[in-house]
Amino acid sequence: MALVQSKQIVSRMPVPSLDEANEPIYIFGEYVVPAGGLAINDVIEMGGVSPNMRVIDAIVHNTACGASATFDLGILSRSYGVTTGTARTCGNEFIAAGDMNATTVKRLTKSVTTDLVGATENPADDTLGWGIKVTGAVYPAAAVIRATLVVMSK
């Protein structure tokens, strides 16, 4: 299992803040699959989300990734941006077994009723990573994966 990160994380874009926000905000991530593709159980960290945020929608759109390409979209283990130490896993809190075989748009498929909880390093106010786990078939090189998390203040 490999961990890769969206271009927004690699370029160190800050996690959006909800300070004085009365409207939903959108957290966007994009990843272009490199030569060699991505294998089953690889994780793409798309962005960060603070525990004071409530997820209200999730959107994934992509170029075609192959006949049996599927994914989970959820919260990653450990703190946002961590690339060293223990391997990170990705849950399916927002979408489970989503289909990436064709160029399509996927929306939140689960009711998000539990609040986000920080990682073990700092559970009270830790920024969490969110992203995609490859669950079926190898994603081909040059495939473009974009994801948007829509959040509001709790």
Burial class of residue 45 (count of CB atoms within 10 Å of its CB; 0-12, 13-18, 19+): buried
Predicted TM-score of the model (pTM): 0.88
Which residue range forms the structural domain that includes residue 88?
3-153
Q: What is the pLDDT of residues 11-45, one digit of tens each?
A: 988 888 777 667 889 999 999 999 988 999 999 99
What confidence category does residue 86 fall into, taking pLDDT thresholds of 50, 70 and 90?
Answer: low
Exposed e or buried b for every residue in 132-145, given b needs 16+ CB within 10 A?
bbbbbbbbbeebeb
CATH number at residue 122: 2.60.120
Query: Residues with Cβ < 8 Å from 129, sequence gap 6 or more?
Result: 45, 46, 47, 48, 49, 75, 76, 78, 79, 80, 81, 82, 88
The total domain count for the chain is 1
Assess contact for 128 and 74: CB atoms under 8 A: no
